């Protein structure tokens, strides 16, 4: 409002300039209305010891203009400076809105079953294994498995896809999804602090905190640049007088012009604004980026390592066959395995559980459950210790002649006997091949598969995608060691390494990578928490969008830096020789800042895929 009032008074003076007796009073009023916030901020910064910033430069330049009677120029500088600030704030708020939409996913209440009653609690009070009622029109507060009822879920806020997802008993549901039809009950599989939505929201709140190398350089540059500008203005104002220059007011005016032109607003604001706009643009495409430094690193990625199951492949396994021994039936093996696997979030476990539900089996009760990442799960069922997992997870002897089928194999042991194995097959995600093709065109040197699956199964994926290398049969510690070796080699060549994964098994290696990427919808909460980038649609093609956004952001950042430096240095020379007025100075400061702001906003205007 103050800026608008100042602008109106300045316009009025153009038409009523003959009223000299009130002219000065109106000018000063207009100046104070337009500049009050800047003057106050400059004063506060001086008391805090932060003297040399854009508020200080604007203050001394405009007060100096008033001292030499150039009132319209002083008011114009402040009015246009405030207009520039308005558009900067608009750009930041536009970027924030894309991120804040994700924060609105957070449910405010949960219906918890306590004894035989449903009571309303805040989601943070809910623990793993609790029974929750999800009413129509309510958001799911925690991850869980449906234990009663059926409905349709709207997962658009998480995945960006508008189509409804049918759910029934045994379906896994993610926190943040909206129940569109019937009430149903779930058993939570995570504490509130460990749920998918909580991890995503934590990542959103951290998104703007990490600065890039470019941003840090500009901040350091401005802290040294501004004092030098003030010193330069003092030299322009005083040195000519020492050599006998007669027109002191003219040299003082040139010094003021120099100060306004040299204000580093365009540099200081446009670089972080460009990255912030990029974070907002990514959020619109259902991609969460933990900080702008992650975008900055992408240009140096020359090695990309992938997990297989749930990352490059669907992670939706179909049971092809259940092999049994003479003592056990296939239905028994499936029932025992599903009783164990329903407690796990692994894609293989979900597939086995769903197959059991499709067969309308009633699962048993398991106790003493123990899951070892990358190996398998065990527990006691009906008095028998049951183990399901890799061949090496079993403690019993295996039949002679048991060969690797090339499919994914889950071995089952009941008591001290080998019972059989479940053979499953998976398929590539629809956009996996297009991502690999894009990375090849980008000249990424090394594309590697790191998986806990068998070598024979992994080699089929490598051959179909033409990857460079494969390491199979890996435990989490093995993946971590291999990734550290790749990092050391890459860093010696001034390159960086990316890892793309989705599960709990991937958490250690995600943390060790230079840039880590996790699948958000089907990924484990631990992976989401550690990742630098989360792909909420679970599609590899989103990684291509991240690379393209990073390239565009870097281009815009350097366009803004180049634009600001070229125009400012050109007009600084003109100002020093008296060939530029305060009006040109206003363009050099506010005009260039606005151009940089609108250039950064182009990132927000691109279509979301």
* pLDDT computed for residue 24 by the predictor: 74
* pLDDT computed for residue 210 by the predictor: 53
Cα distance between residue 33 and residue 54, in whole Å: 19
Cα distance between residue 277 and residue 361, in whole Å: 51
What does DSSP assign to residue 485?
H
Write out the catalytic residue numbers. 307
Cα distance between residue 62 and residue 257, in whole Å: 10
CA 556 to chain CA centroid, Å, is 19
Report the residue count for the chain: 609
Q: What is the mean pLDDT of residues 272-298?
A: 82
- Top pLDDT among 239 and 535 is at 535
- Top pLDDT among 127 and 520 is at 127
pLDDT band at 285 (very low <50, low <70, confident <90, very high): confident
Tokens encoding 48: 């805090």
pLDDT digits (tens, 9 = 90+) for 574-604: 877 777 776 777 777 677 777 887 888 888 7
- Top pLDDT among 180 and 88 is at 180
- Of 18-27, 102-111, 396-405, the range with the highest mean pLDDT is 396-405
Find the angle CA(466)-CA(471)-CA(476) to the nearest 5 degrees: 135
What does DSSP assign to residue 107?
-
Residue 332: CA count within 13 A, CB half-sphere: 15
pTM confidence score: 0.67
Quick one: which of 475, 477, 470, 467 has its CA closest to 456? 470
* pLDDT computed for residue 16 by the predictor: 47
pLDDT digits (tens, 9 = 90+) for 242-278: 776 667 777 877 877 777 777 776 666 777 778 878 8
* pLDDT computed for residue 261 by the predictor: 74
pLDDT digits (tens, 9 = 90+) for 67-87: 777 777 777 777 777 776 676
- Top pLDDT among 200 and 226 is at 226
Q: What is the mean pLDDT of residues 323-333?
A: 92
pLDDT digits (tens, 9 = 90+) for 175-221: 878 888 888 999 998 888 777 666 666 655 554 455 556 556 666 66
Least confident of 139-153, 242-256, 305-319, 415-429: 242-256
* pLDDT computed for residue 334 by the predictor: 95
Least confident of 253-262, 276-285, 437-446, 552-561: 253-262
Quick one: which of 563, 540, 600 has its CA closest to 287? 540
Tokens encoding 202: 């934590």
* pLDDT computed for residue 213 by the predictor: 61
Asked if pLDDT for residue 97 goes beyond 70, the answer is no
Long-range pairs, 579-585, Cβ under 8 A, ≥24: 580/257, 580/261, 581/73, 581/257, 582/65, 582/70, 582/73, 582/74, 582/76, 582/77, 582/253, 582/256, 582/257, 582/260, 583/73, 583/76, 584/257, 584/261, 585/61, 585/77, 585/256, 585/257, 585/260, 585/261
What does DSSP assign to residue 351?
H
* pLDDT computed for residue 15 by the predictor: 45
Asked if pLDDT for residue 512 goes beyond 90, the answer is no
Q: What is the mean pLDDT of residues 146-166?
A: 73
What average pLDDT does the structure give for the chain? 80
Domains contained in the chain, CATH given = 318-425 (3.40.1110.10)
């Amino acid at each position: 409002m103050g800026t608008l009032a100042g602008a109106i008074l300045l316009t009025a003076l153009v038409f009523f300039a003959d009223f000299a007796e009130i002219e000065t009073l109106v000018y000063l009023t207009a100046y104070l209305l337009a500049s009050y916030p800047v003057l106050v901020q400059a004063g506060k910064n001086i008391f805090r010891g932060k003297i040399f910033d854009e508020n200080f430069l604007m203050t001394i330049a405009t007060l100096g203009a008033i001292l030499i009677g150039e009132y319209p120029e002083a008011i114009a500088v402040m009015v246009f400076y405030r207009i520039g600030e308005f558009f900067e704030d608009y750009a930041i708020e536009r970027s924030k809105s894309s991120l804040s939409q994700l924060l609105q996913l957070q449910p405010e209440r949960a219906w918890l079953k306590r004894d035989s009653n449903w009571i309303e609690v805040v989601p943070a009070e809910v623990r793993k294994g609790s029974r929750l009622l999800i009413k129509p029109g309510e958001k799911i507060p925690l991850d869980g498995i449906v234990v009663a009822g059926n409905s349709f879920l709207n997962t658009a806020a998480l995945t960006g896809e508008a189509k409804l997802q049918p759910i029934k008993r045994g379906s896994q549901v993610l926190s943040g999804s909206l129940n569109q039809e019937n009430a149903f009950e779930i058993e939570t599989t995570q504490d509130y602090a460990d749920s998918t939505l909580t991890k995503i929201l934590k990542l959103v709140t951290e998104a703007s905190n990490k600065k890039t190398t470019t941003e840090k350089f500009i901040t350091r540059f401005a802290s040294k640049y501004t004092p030098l500008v003030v010193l330069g203005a003092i030299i322009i104002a005083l040195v000519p007088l020492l050599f006998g220059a007669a027109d002191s007011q003219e040299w003082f005016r040139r010094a003021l012009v120099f100060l306004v032109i040299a204000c580093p607003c365009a540099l200081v604001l446009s670089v972080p604004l460009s990255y912030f706009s990029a974070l907002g643009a990514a959020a619109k495409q259902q991609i969460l980026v933990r900080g702008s430094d992650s975008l900055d690193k992408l240009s140096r990625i020359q090695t990309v390592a992938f997990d297989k199951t749930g990352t490059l492949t669907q992670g939706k396994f179909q049971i092809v066959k259940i092999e049994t021994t003479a003592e056990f039936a296939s239905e028994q093996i499936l029932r025992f395995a599903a009783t164990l696997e329903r407690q796990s979030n692994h894609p293989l476990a979900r597939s086995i559980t769903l197959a059991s539900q499709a067969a309308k089996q009633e699962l048993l009760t398991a106790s003493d459950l123990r899951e070892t990442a990358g190996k398998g799960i065990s527990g006691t069922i009906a008095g028998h210790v049951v183990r399901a997992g890799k061949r090496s997870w079993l403690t019993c002897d295996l039949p002679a002649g048991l060969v690797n089928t090339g499919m994914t194999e889950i071995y089952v042991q009941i008591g001290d006997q080998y019972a059989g194995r479940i053979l499953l097959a998976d398929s590539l995600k629809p956009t996996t091949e297009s991502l690999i093709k894009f990375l090849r065109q980008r000249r990424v040197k090394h594309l590697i598969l790191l998986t806990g699956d068998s070598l024979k199964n992994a080699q089929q994926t490598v051959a179909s995608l033409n990857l460079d290398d494969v390491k199979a049969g890996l435990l989490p510690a093995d993946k971590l060691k291999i990734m550290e070796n790749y990092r050391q080699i890459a860093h010696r060549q001034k390159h960086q390494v990316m890892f793309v994964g989705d599960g709990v098994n991937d958490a250690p290696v995600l943390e060790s990578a230079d840039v880590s990427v996790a699948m958000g919808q089907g990924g484990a909460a631990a992976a989401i928490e550690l990742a630098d980038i989360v792909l909420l649609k679970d599609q590899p093609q989103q990684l291509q969008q991240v690379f393209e956004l990073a390239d565009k952001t870097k281009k815009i950042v350097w366009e803004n830096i180049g634009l600001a430096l070229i125009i400012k240095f050109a007009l600084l020379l003109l100002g020093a020789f008296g060939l530029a007025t305060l009006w040109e100075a206003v363009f050099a400061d506010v005009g260039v800042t606005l151009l940089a702001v609108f250039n950064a906003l182009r990132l927000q205007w691109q279509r979301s895929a």
